[in-house]
Structure 1
Amino acid sequence: MSPPEIIQLANNLLQQNKLQQAKKLILPLIQSAPEHHQAWQILAQIHRQLKEQEQYQQATKQYEMIAWFNQRLDKANQHLLNKELKPAETIAHELLNLVTNEYRVLVLLSKIAFQASDLKTYLAITSHNININNTKSAAYDAHIEALFNTKQYLELISFYNRSTTLVTLLPKSQSLLAAAYVKMMDFKNAFLNYQSLLNKNYHPAYCNLRLGNIEKIVGNNQSAIAFYCKAIKLAPHIGEAYWNLANLKTYTFTQLNVANLEQQITIDSNKLNKAQLHFALAKAYEQQNRYEDAFLQLKISNDLQKSLTPYITNDFNERCKNYITKKAANEVLPLSESEVQLIFIVSLPRSGSTLIEQILASHSHVDASYELSEINSIAVELENLQIKSNVPYKLSSLTQEHLAGLAKRYLKFIEPLRNNKPYFIDKQPVNFQHIALIKTLFPNAKIIDVQRDKKATAWSLYKHSFSQGHSYSYDQEDLAHYMNEYYKLMTHWHTVYPDEIYTINYENLVNNFTETVNALFQHCNLVVEQACYEFYNNQRPVLTPSSEQVRKPIYKEALTDWKNYANHLTPLLNRLN
């Protein structure tokens, strides 16, 4: 039984005047987990009714002291929830001075470090907690969460499997284990763990969603649809499931689906969920050629998303253009041929980068994985260094040894994602901002920039519900600003790195497929193979929204979809340079 269940049962026995039974039940809990003040309160009442005055006074004193401690801890956690880190930290240290290494306070302190983006301290605290409090399952759960948040997926998997023999972990930790397996592209074990959680009735709608996502990734679309529909049956309000169906090109919404969506948008109050419902309803109306109704739903959903995550600009791109005007003098020595040839694919999202990745990854010498965030993580860490410099990443202040260490860190990160082929693709659209960092760490890296017709790209972005990180896409003027910044920065990078960035045009690929593919492989110093022309037969997992398209031959239908909505896109189209 869990502590709350023991406390409830002991209290029931107390109310029935079964004092010795209640005492026998509550004492082991107090010995193993004295932090539960309710247990001390019950013990005090037992002693009082047994007329054990001295024990009653001692238990009452413990109850009052621990109840106060827990109230302070609750207060600190509330500060953390409100992102008030300083008062939360003050209370945490106050409590640690009273009870050294108290495991719940250490969990709190680790979360404060995470909120402050101090990942080194975050992980150090959770590691210390499991070493000191090695019988407390909450310490293990917190460390598993820390390993996930710091992207140490292999260590998470190993630690989880070791920990299950020591403590009883929360189902949430198993869900992080499943997610870690996804990150390591081990979809079999990811599926098994989500299925296990489903069998335990742990958030069944959520588990069906995740199982559907895995089936979509590996190309089992009909099974994915079945899981999404199960999720909707379990939770008719679940916007993510409807949006996932909308994002499947092979699924057509039924009239019953449409009726359910129209009902749900009138009753759901959660903004994010409601936005996804509106996005899905827009797709349903589009399938019925109801373009005016579809755009209205898109406008509502984007407005909701913008209210949740407004687009905030910064001066990073301008600093790149002003302060990075030539190659870095401290760039890392190029990788040897015995290591790996890195190919970085950048673009605006929804521009065809997944298709380019699929074509390249169909070659027998090329590995690919998913949209990695490691370059961006390195960039953020460098930007946060306490060094006064306007130069992005403080590049001019970093030693070659420091940079070489970052290059090794990146190579270590991708190592478990590789099958030891000589080429590795890192396809991450947002890395267009970090080309200087990439070329400093890996001077011989291939950079491929995928560009698509601006109007088609803009429309595809505006109608897509992103999970996170694309706040510019929810407003037409913001979207135009972001796209213009992308084109200006790419022009700058071509000046800094002439002949080192290969631009491929999506429309050229569609209209002149063989010629464009041949030129791409020539740039990568690879001899094109037949499988690359037949990329749609490649059964590798694809984790992006374009997973369906890249499993089909080239099609041209989406090139002019935006024209159905042109009269609504004036603020966007007028601002695109």
Structure 2
Amino acid sequence: MTTQIKMTEPQMLQQLLKQGFEHLNQGQIREAADCCQRAIHIKPDLVPAHFLVGLVALEGQDRKTAFQAFNSVTTLQKNHPAAWAQIAKLCMSDGQINLADNALKQALKYPNKDPMVHDLLGTVLSKMGEHKNARKCFQEAVTLQPNHPPYMLNYANNLIYQGELEESESVLEDIIRIQPNSPQAHWSFSGAQKATNTKHIETMQSLVSEKNIHPRSLPFYFYAMGKEYEDLQEWDKAFESFSKGAKARRETVEFDEAHEVATFKHIEDTFTKEWFEQDQKGHSSDAPIFVLGQPRTGTTLVERIITSHSQVHSAGELQQFGLAIRRLSNHQDPRRFSPQLFTEALKLDPQKIGGLYLQTTEKLSGGKPRFVDKLPQNYLMIPLILKALPNAKIVHLTRNPMDACFASYKQLFADAYLHSYDQAEMARHHARYRHLMDVWRERFPGQFFDISYEATTSDLEPNARALIDFLELPWEDTCLHFHEQKTAVSTASSIQVREPAHTRSIGRWKHYEQQLSTMMSTLHEQGVPIDN
């Protein structure tokens, strides 16, 4: 007869927490959550159990539960920097800048040697546009836990944003040496340098051929190979890689085209001249400058020209305008845009929208008189921006339809532009966008400034001068030397805009004319002239 040793309560709790973290690391969400519940049932004020609940909820994409759990941690133990850092990240993702800032201050108040906390703080600071402070946090995380690829990758990407390309390449090479199958590191490495041979491509081809490779890893490798083949001007191989990358990405994300069609139609039907002429005053501030359009059409280039001016700060790609509408209307639909969102916007006081937008962007405006919000998708918000911020300036980028569509098709995006991974979907989306911009020009003449990517790169000075004149700023010659800026660039164009304006990307789609026949024919069917 064997004697079973009964565990003490502390031993039982320790075992449950250990099992919970093990389940979480293995992706077993339900099992991890069960361990949390059992531990909290035994000891309701057990701080590590509440923290684990937050981590499990994050893994399960249950942001509400995660937020509640981390708040429980800080209620039970105020000096818990890891929980404060998680709260800061969640608040920042929701556009709640002030709450994020308060949580950030709490996290920084208490000394800690946890690399995860420093990495989290770096992420939050990056989203706030404080890239130099973010670098210190990422660097501290790497120092506290050397040779840890996730922390190293965040550090490397920060270096890329700040133009420190040689150092970033070195860190990325170290990541690949430590963890050869690191898809995001390979992808970032490809973007940070110009390929001169096929050595790195061959390494990635070998990794792609492995049996158990995760489907979400494939797009990183294929897009990286496509970029390097393009560097080598091996056009057929480049397109084959981009096409495989798009196919792999399309298999891991969903694009609801019918929903987008309905949303665009609703926007067009809703924001009429009659609506615009209603006697509702917006906020009087002239600080914001919105640079918008399709991605990969020169929005970053134009932003850099504008922010080279001494009176203008780059605030990055901000979600704050749309979030102001959500917060004022308490709109809950997780989709970024929907007919209901714009219906709710109609009920709001434009001045309150503008005021909340300015309040939530205050810490991102750099202390200068003007700032640039460079979220491309704000073209959907043009009528609301004009109403809520009548003195703001709006700059819209135009680009040849085929170059614009192909530039998006060959780019791997994070969680936006889900239409870009299929040629026909990409072309139909572009047609919807162009139609909407034509509607805005007809309804709101002279209310925004169209600037051509091709004209600006071909003849910079007259176009830059016209742009600065539209913004009602005095001319400064520094606007012609935008590539000399040392400020961070957190977009896919971070490498290109650190060199003078060039025309290499104009007409690049013609290298792939045969392979892009579906895109061309779809644009033609939609009435979009491809030579425009």
State the TM bucket, normalised to the shorter chain.
0.7 to 0.9
Greater shift in the superposed pair: 320-329 or 450-459: 320-329
Structure 1 residue 251 corresponds to structure 2 residue 185 = no
Greater shift in the superposed pair: 419-428 or 447-456: 419-428
Output the amino acid matched with 2:115: P
Flag the 1:124–1:393 CA change in 2: closer, same or farther, 3 A.
farther
| Contact kept in structure 2, 1:217 and 1:547, CA below 8 Å | yes
Q: Classify the secondary structure of the residue corresponding to 1:36.
A: helix
2:282 paired residue number: 333
1:162 paired residue number: 109
Structure 1 residue 551 corresponds to structure 2 residue 498 = yes
| Contact kept in structure 2, 1:95 and 1:105, CA below 8 Å | no
Structure 1 residue 395 corresponds to structure 2 residue 345 = yes
Greater shift in the superposed pair: 136-145 or 477-486: 136-145
Q: Classify the secondary structure of the residue corresponding to 1:568.
A: coil
Structure 1 residue 36 corresponds to structure 2 residue 14 = yes
Query: 2: CA distance between counterparts of 1:463 and 1:361?
Result: 27
**What CA deviation, in whole Å up to 9, does each residue of 1:265-320 have, x standing for no partner?**
10161122221111111223233332222211111111000001122121211110
2:203 paired residue number: 260
Q: Classify the secondary structure of the residue corresponding to 2:292.
A: strand
Structure 1 residue 194 corresponds to structure 2 residue 133 = no
Give the deviation of 1:480 after TM superposition.
Answer: 0.7
Structure 1 residue 373 corresponds to structure 2 residue 319 = yes
The normalised TM-score by structure 1 is 0.77
Flag the 1:149–1:344 CA change in 2: closer, same or farther, 3 A.
closer
The number of residue pairs the alignment matches comes to 506
2:466 paired residue number: 519
Structure 1 residue 534 corresponds to structure 2 residue 474 = no
Give the deviation of 1:440 after TM superposition.
Answer: 2.8
1:270 paired residue number: 214
Flag the 1:512–1:108 CA change in 2: closer, same or farther, 3 A.
same
**What CA deviation, in whole Å up to 9, does each residue of 1:239-266 have, x standing for no partner?**
2222223223x42154331221121110
| Contact kept in structure 2, 1:140 and 1:169, CA below 8 Å | no
Output the amino acid matched with 1:355: L
Output the amino acid matched with 1:347: G
| Contact kept in structure 2, 1:346 and 1:450, CA below 8 Å | yes
Give the deviation of 1:178 after TM superposition.
Answer: 1.1
Query: 2: CA distance between counterparts of 1:542 and 1:110?
Result: 30
| Contact kept in structure 2, 1:323 and 1:390, CA below 8 Å | no
Structure 1 residue 232 corresponds to structure 2 residue 176 = yes
Query: 2: CA distance between counterparts of 1:352 and 1:550?
Result: 9
Query: 1: CA distance between counterparts of 2:145 and 2:317?
Result: 31
Rg (Cα) greater in structure: 1
| Contact kept in structure 1, 2:163 and 2:486, CA below 8 Å | yes
Greater shift in the superposed pair: 521-530 or 284-293: 284-293
1:293 paired residue number: 237
Instruction: Please list every run of 5 or more consecutive structure 1 residues that lacks an aligned counterpart in the other structure.
Output: 1-14, 40-65, 82-87
**What CA deviation, in whole Å up to 9, does each residue of 1:176-219 have, x standing for no partner?**
10112222333333222222222333662223322222222112
1:496 paired residue number: 443
Structure 1 residue 209 corresponds to structure 2 residue 156 = no
Tell me how large the CA RMSD over aligned residues is: 3.9
1:242 paired residue number: 186
1:282 paired residue number: 226
**What CA deviation, in whole Å up to 9, does each residue of 1:1-39 have, x standing for no partner?**
xxxxxxxxxxxxxx9xxx9xxx9xx97x82xx8733569
Query: 1: CA distance between counterparts of 2:24 and 2:128?
Result: 36
1:568 paired residue number: 515
Give the deviation of 1:462 after TM superposition.
Answer: 1.1
Flag the 1:222–1:71 CA change in 2: closer, same or farther, 3 A.
closer
Flag the 1:226–1:102 CA change in 2: closer, same or farther, 3 A.
closer
Output the amino acid matched with 2:166: Q
Query: 1: CA distance between counterparts of 2:156 and 2:71?
Result: 34
Output the amino acid matched with 1:351: T
Query: 1: CA distance between counterparts of 2:231 and 2:414?
Result: 23
Flag the 1:460–1:96 CA change in 2: closer, same or farther, 3 A.
same
**What CA deviation, in whole Å up to 9, does each residue of 1:212-240 have, x standing for no partner?**
22222112222222222222112222222
Give the deviation of 1:382 after TM superposition.
Answer: 6.3
Q: Classify the secondary structure of the residue corresponding to 2:362.
A: helix
| 1:323 maps to which of 270, 280, 305 | 270
| Contact kept in structure 2, 1:171 and 1:202, CA below 8 Å | no
Instruction: Please list every run of 5 or more consecutive structure 2 residues that lacks an aligned counterpart in the other structure.
Output: none
| Contact kept in structure 2, 1:141 and 1:169, CA below 8 Å | no
| 1:477 maps to which of 421, 424, 432 | 424
**What CA deviation, in whole Å up to 9, does each residue of 1:135-161 have, x standing for no partner?**
778755653553444454432431212
Flag the 1:102–1:564 CA change in 2: closer, same or farther, 3 A.
same
Structure 1 residue 174 corresponds to structure 2 residue 118 = yes
Q: Classify the secondary structure of the residue corresponding to 2:507.
A: helix
| Contact kept in structure 2, 1:209 and 1:231, CA below 8 Å | yes
**What CA deviation, in whole Å up to 9, does each residue of 1:67-111 have, x standing for no partner?**
9x999999xx83599xxxxxx99x999998886566546874897
Flag the 1:391–1:497 CA change in 2: closer, same or farther, 3 A.
farther
Output the amino acid matched with 1:350: R
| Contact kept in structure 1, 2:326 and 2:332, CA below 8 Å | no
Query: 2: CA distance between counterparts of 1:197 and 1:113?
Result: 21
* Identity over aligned pairs, percent: 21
Q: Classify the secondary structure of the residue corresponding to 1:558.
A: coil
Q: Classify the secondary structure of the residue corresponding to 2:254.
A: coil
Query: 2: CA distance between counterparts of 1:380 and 1:496?
Result: 25
Flag the 1:253–1:208 CA change in 2: closer, same or farther, 3 A.
farther
| 1:352 maps to which of 288, 298, 307 | 298
| Contact kept in structure 2, 1:144 and 1:159, CA below 8 Å | no
Query: 2: CA distance between counterparts of 1:228 and 1:113?
Result: 27
Query: 2: CA distance between counterparts of 1:96 and 1:232?
Result: 41
Q: Classify the secondary structure of the residue corresponding to 1:575.
A: helix
Flag the 1:289–1:149 CA change in 2: closer, same or farther, 3 A.
closer
Query: 2: CA distance between counterparts of 1:502 and 1:148?
Result: 31
Flag the 1:190–1:466 CA change in 2: closer, same or farther, 3 A.
same
The normalised TM-score by structure 2 is 0.83
Query: 2: CA distance between counterparts of 1:525 and 1:447?
Result: 12
Flag the 1:110–1:293 CA change in 2: closer, same or farther, 3 A.
closer
Structure 1 residue 78 corresponds to structure 2 residue 29 = yes
Flag the 1:490–1:107 CA change in 2: closer, same or farther, 3 A.
farther
**What CA deviation, in whole Å up to 9, does each residue of 1:505-556 have, x standing for no partner?**
1111122322211211111111221111222222222211212222222111
Output the amino acid matched with 1:421: K
Greater shift in the superposed pair: 341-350 or 176-185: 176-185
Query: 2: CA distance between counterparts of 1:491 and 1:539?
Result: 36
| Contact kept in structure 2, 1:217 and 1:542, CA below 8 Å | yes
Query: 2: CA distance between counterparts of 1:186 and 1:233?
Result: 30
